[in-house]
């Protein structure tokens, strides 16, 4: 018990994800409170739009790949809900703070769950979810094939059934 809170996350993908989320969260708080990136304010024009075309392209791609948790069928870029606008602002701040695309996705996934992503990353559980129907179809086809093959080997009974005559 003396290992600390993060002992369960030690090693592997969980530890990397936790570090990325913590790093993104700290940087986000620094950006929000104005303690980080004060020299980067030139990245926005007078309307609050991103001036750098590379960051703007990344912003457009990311906001179209994140699902609005209220609308559930629209991306946060296409939604008019206030939460979607706040998420777009959060993505913009994370990108201007220098975070990578994956760090932004990890931050949003850690906060809102994997449902927020339209394109979930290929992991063991998603592979199982997508592969299970094909496996069940293959299993069902194999069972039907074996039953049909087994019944075709059975002898035909050509004699009429004797009734209680």
For 73-106, the pLDDT digits (tens) are: 888 988 888 998 999 999 999 998 888 989 999 9
The top-level CATH class assigned to 9-116 is mainly alpha
C-alpha to C-alpha distance for 89 and 119, rounded to whole angstroms: 21
Confidence label for 161 from pLDDT (cuts 50, 70 and 90): low
Q: Does the pLDDT at position 39 exceed 70?
A: no
CB distance 102 to 114 below 8 Å: no
C-alpha to C-alpha distance for 133 and 147, rounded to whole angstroms: 21
Q: The pTM is what?
A: 0.54
Mean pLDDT score of the chain: 78
Q: Is 127 exposed, middle or buried (0-12, 13-18, 19+ CB in 10 A)?
A: exposed
């Amino acid at each position: 018990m003396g290992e600390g809170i993060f002992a369960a996350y030690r090693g592997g993908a969980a530890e990397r994800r936790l570090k990325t989320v913590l790093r993104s969260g700290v940087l986000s708080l620094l950006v929000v409170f104005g303690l980080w990136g004060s020299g980067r304010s030139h990245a926005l024009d007078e309307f609050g739009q991103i001036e750098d075309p590379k960051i703007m392209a990344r912003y457009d791609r990311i906001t179209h790949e994140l699902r609005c948790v209220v609308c559930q069928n629209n991306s946060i870029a296409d939604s008019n809900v206030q939460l979607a606008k706040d998420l777009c602002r959060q993505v913009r701040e994370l990108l201007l703070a220098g975070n990578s695309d994956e760090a932004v996705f990890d931050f949003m996934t850690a906060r809102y769950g994997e449902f927020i992503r339209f394109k979930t990353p290929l992991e063991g559980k998603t592979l199982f979810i997508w592969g299970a129907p094909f496996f069940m179809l293959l299993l069902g086809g194999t069972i039907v094939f074996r039953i049909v093959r087994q019944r075709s080997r059975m002898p035909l009974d050509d004699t009429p059934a004797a009734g209680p005559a």
